Structure 1
Amino acid sequence: MTKVLVIDDEKVMAGSIKNLLKNRGYFAECFFNPITALNVLQREHFDIVLTDFKMPNIDGLEMIERIKEIRPEAKIILMTAYSSISNAVEAMKKGADEYISKPFEIEDLEKKLEILGVTQQKKKKFKPNQVNLLGESEAMLKLKAKIKKIAKSDATVLITGESGTGKELVAAQIHNLSSRSEEAFIAINMAAIPLNLIESEFFGYKKGSFTGADKDYKGKFLSSDKGSLFMDEVGEIPLDLQAKLLRVLQESSFHAIGSSETVKINTRFIAATNQNLYELTKKSLFREDLYYRLNIIELNLPPLRERLEDINLLVKHFVLKHGTDNIETPDNFVDLLRAYHWPGNVRELENIIHRCIVMVEGNTLNVHDLPKHISGLTPKQETPLTDISFKQIKEGLSLIDLEKKIILKALEESNGNKTNAAKLLKITRRKLYSRMEKHGINLS
């Protein structure tokens, strides 16, 4: 998959370009701070760098030189609202490969990419064999292992989990590791599209088929042919459209609006929701047959509060993404983040780190930089599982008795919750049950 890095201090513009590229099947990242973007380029390869001409701290021409020093193999497209022949000539001299004037249509950008020979359809990329997700907790390691297995199949996947857990990122990883990785990954968010436009977004339409249809639009089904279609917030699809979606899933074909021609597609469908679709079927708010068609493989994403050990790694990543590599995050800052329950999950953590970086004075993120609902918390303390002294051990307490006492202490600290007790002991729940049986501890 072709990787594109977008650098523009206009956040709305950068985000829009990123989303348009992702919807055309490219892997796209955007950064608003040019220095941060250069730091990322030191660590990661990108095929294309799309950079603005006018930015704070560094201008477009200097940016081109810096990019070429770091990644001489990358293609550079300079975009600017200040279009002039002299700017274009100077940019080309510094190493830019193409030049585009803002505002522009995505089709104009794709033409530039085609000239450079890196269109998503033409460029053959090295296929990754590792899951590119941050986290080394037990929950994340299990998730990564499941993603690698699921990627080998073409079966429909239903990704479940709370808002902010990274469902689209996981869907993209499934696509990237699959045999379809060189084709388009198309994402569509049901909650973000007006109800009267959802059908035309899916099916596309022919010119003149309704008022405002002044040209053909191929829609998401056809755009994702041979690739993957990710449908986020699938529970928001209206009931009448659910029946049409089910038919496409069953027959792998559809008709564009205003056309009688049957179009066959070969698409892998990945859906996601933060709702309980099974409960919605019981309330007749979601079709039961569509639910079972989507839920061939279910992949549940763990909330951040269940993998707090990943917070330090995530914080470092977001600091690099939104700041610079010289910003420090002391232990008491990270400890306080671990004490919070994170209802908004990883997305909320990223937003808070971004806010801290904007507000910080100096190069160290401190507790007082955090919002009050977090800065007022008390950091979690590591609770000792036993108060046994070396003197007791010397006086005849055996290792078997010591193990039993530690298990009982963990169960006491966890109020009898065996899952939490196993986490305290850093063993699996199955192993905890085995040890409890061994020591005659009541399993109930």
Structure 2
Amino acid sequence: MTTERPLALIIDDEPDICELIQVTLQRMEVDCHIAGTLHEARDLLGQHAFDLCITDMQLPDGNGIDLVRETVAERPELPMAVITAYGNMDTAVQALKAGAFDFVPKPVDLGMLRQLVGGATRLSHGPRIDRRSRDTLLGDSPAMQKIRGTIAKLARSTAPVYISGESGTGKELVARTIHDKGDRREKPFVPINCGAIPSELMESEFFGHVKGAFTGANRDKQGLFQAADGGTLFLDEIAELPQHMQVKLLRAIQEKAVRPVGSEQEISVNVRILSATHKDLGQLVDEGLFRQDLFYRINVIQLAVPSLRQRRQDIPMLVNHVLGRLTGDGDAPPVQLNDAALGALRAYAFPGNVRELENILERALTLCEGGVIEPEDLQLPDSPCGQPQDTAAAVPAPDDDFALDDYLADVEREVVIKALEKTGYNKTAAAQLLGISFRALRYKLKKLDME
């Protein structure tokens, strides 16, 4: 039984480079077509089902990035790689922003080229995998559907991704999902909490050291970059990096190489960089606390993870999942929240987001009786009887992601829930308390998905 060989398109007007890439790919059992112009490339793209496309930037009749943009739009399943001038990271970043799978600098490094081709063919020619992430990133809200759709696209790239979001929203889970859905899933996913490593040990932890590099260095030690080689390096709380490490990290990203402490030799590494923080990196750049050039390199693509306040309709699903996980072991009967407790959770501000929800439910399991969690079992902050706190002050100030309609709906939902709880969920009494008709209250309950 024979297997069809992958097919690549090489676009460059320099015959020597085309021949070098073609010979390298043929040794990897990849067949090739060659084009010297954008016009020839478009013709070939229309005639063949390619598994990989490698294009130079400057071509006689245009720019390779334009071809990347139009091809990614028409054939998002085709990995596009770009050949860039040596040391020109700005061009490489532009290519990645345009949708390129990866880049390789001139003069072409054959080792990097082989890694690039291997990753691209695994995506387009390898076995298909189930890319659904609904069972990992729970929630049917529009915000979570958008996140999962974006992750499916990001998984097909090696571009650095900056994951922003409040504490407890699940930024590391998002990063791990991007890794698991991509071609690097068989390689390591290495998370680093940049705020948990002492400053004096940071360089050694990141890049490793050689024996005798400093007192106590009794043997060679591999750094986290090397441990993640071929896979993904997740830099959590990257805002905590001191200035001297920001410089060294920038060099490692640009050169795709690290130098262990005490060594004179650089070691090539092939890692995808994902980073995250709950702080506003843009503001830190403006304040001079974070390097602008590093921010530019890691922020090729930004992915904002929504707070729990922005996806309240997911709370019942999250509650069921967390309670199922916490009570899944043993023969204990299932535990449920009554309507009042669920209403309190839906009205609560959740400054700690999903992580806080998990902690609240774990505590409530200990306090509840009869397998039913009551509002008082939740012990929500500032509310000893389980009444939800006023969340209007907890809503963030308007920014790029702010939606007035969502904010007003949240405030309206909180007021309605408080009225229902105060009247024991008597809708007629709640409507009187709110100063509206019973019919108006029913309309609001339907509009707010609270029926």
Q: Which TM bucket (shorter chain)?
A: 0.5 to 0.7
1:157–1:271 contact (8 Å) kept in structure 2: yes
2:349 maps to 1:341: yes
**CA shift for structure 1 position 322:** 1.8
The 4+ residue runs of structure 1 with deviation greater than 6 A are 421-425
TM-score (norm 1): 0.57
1:252–1:264 contact (8 Å) kept in structure 2: yes
SS of residue matched to 2:235: strand
- Residue number among 357, 370, 384 corresponding to 1:362 in the alignment: 370
**CA shift for structure 1 position 137:** 0.7
Distance 2:183 2:294 in 1: 25
**CA shift for structure 1 position 378:** 4.6
Distance 2:177 2:410 in 1: 28
SS of residue matched to 2:350: coil
**CA shift for structure 1 position 418:** 3.9
2:131 maps to 1:129: yes
**CA shift for structure 1 position 323:** 2.1
Distance 1:230 1:154 in 2: 13
Q: Name the counterpart of 1:266.
A: 270
Distance 1:185 1:372 in 2: 35
Instruction: Give the counterpart letter for 2:334 in structure 1.
Output: N
Distance 1:225 1:372 in 2: 44
What number of residue pairs does the alignment pair up?
268
2:149 maps to 1:141: no
**CA shift for structure 1 position 298:** 0.2
Evaluate the alpha carbon distance shift between residue 272 and residue 148 of structure 1 in structure 2; reply closer, same or farther with a 3 A threshold: same
Identify which of structures 1 and 2 has the higher relative contact order when contacts are C-alpha pairs closer than 8 Å and 6+ apart.
1
Evaluate the alpha carbon distance shift between residue 245 and residue 193 of structure 1 in structure 2; reply closer, same or farther with a 3 A threshold: same
1:230–1:269 contact (8 Å) kept in structure 2: yes
Q: 1:187-202 alignment to 2 at 5 Å?
A: 187-202=191-206
1:127–1:181 contact (8 Å) kept in structure 2: no
Q: Name the counterpart of 2:379.
A: 371
Distance 2:197 2:143 in 1: 33
User: What fraction of aligned residue pairs are identical, expressed as a percent?
Assistant: 43
Q: Name the counterpart of 1:157.
A: 161
Distance 1:356 1:195 in 2: 39
Distance 2:160 2:306 in 1: 20
Instruction: Give the counterpart letter for 1:338 in structure 2.
Output: R
**CA shift for structure 1 position 231:** 0.2
Of 371-380 and 242-251, deviating more is: 371-380
Evaluate the alpha carbon distance shift between residue 219 and residue 128 of structure 1 in structure 2; reply closer, same or farther with a 3 A threshold: farther
Q: 1:427-438 alignment to 2 at 5 Å?
A: none
Distance 1:375 1:130 in 2: 41
Distance 1:252 1:302 in 2: 32
Q: 1:231-246 alignment to 2 at 5 Å?
A: 231-246=235-250
1:185–1:224 contact (8 Å) kept in structure 2: yes
Evaluate the alpha carbon distance shift between residue 125 and residue 217 of structure 1 in structure 2; reply closer, same or farther with a 3 A threshold: farther
Gaps of 5+ in 1: 1-123, 381-415, 426-444
1:339–1:378 contact (8 Å) kept in structure 2: no
2:238 maps to 1:230: no
1:339–1:377 contact (8 Å) kept in structure 2: no
Q: Name the counterpart of 2:101.
A: none
SS of residue matched to 1:196: helix
1:186–1:230 contact (8 Å) kept in structure 2: yes
- Residue number among 302, 326, 332 corresponding to 1:322 in the alignment: 326
Evaluate the alpha carbon distance shift between residue 288 and residue 184 of structure 1 in structure 2; reply closer, same or farther with a 3 A threshold: same
Distance 1:371 1:420 in 2: 25
TM-score (norm 2): 0.56
Distance 2:161 2:299 in 1: 6
SS of residue matched to 1:337: helix
Evaluate the alpha carbon distance shift between residue 125 and residue 208 of structure 1 in structure 2; reply closer, same or farther with a 3 A threshold: farther
Evaluate the alpha carbon distance shift between residue 253 and residue 355 of structure 1 in structure 2; reply closer, same or farther with a 3 A threshold: same
SS of residue matched to 1:361: coil
Distance 1:239 1:375 in 2: 44
SS of residue matched to 1:355: helix
Evaluate the alpha carbon distance shift between residue 379 and residue 163 of structure 1 in structure 2; reply closer, same or farther with a 3 A threshold: closer
Q: 1:80-119 alignment to 2 at 5 Å?
A: none
Distance 1:280 1:342 in 2: 25
1:125–1:182 contact (8 Å) kept in structure 2: no
Evaluate the alpha carbon distance shift between residue 126 and residue 145 of structure 1 in structure 2; reply closer, same or farther with a 3 A threshold: closer
SS of residue matched to 1:209: coil
**CA shift for structure 1 position 360:** 2.6
- Residue number among 212, 215, 221 corresponding to 1:211 in the alignment: 215
CA deviation string 1:80-102 (max 9, x = no partner): xxxxxxxxxxxxxxxxxxxxxxx
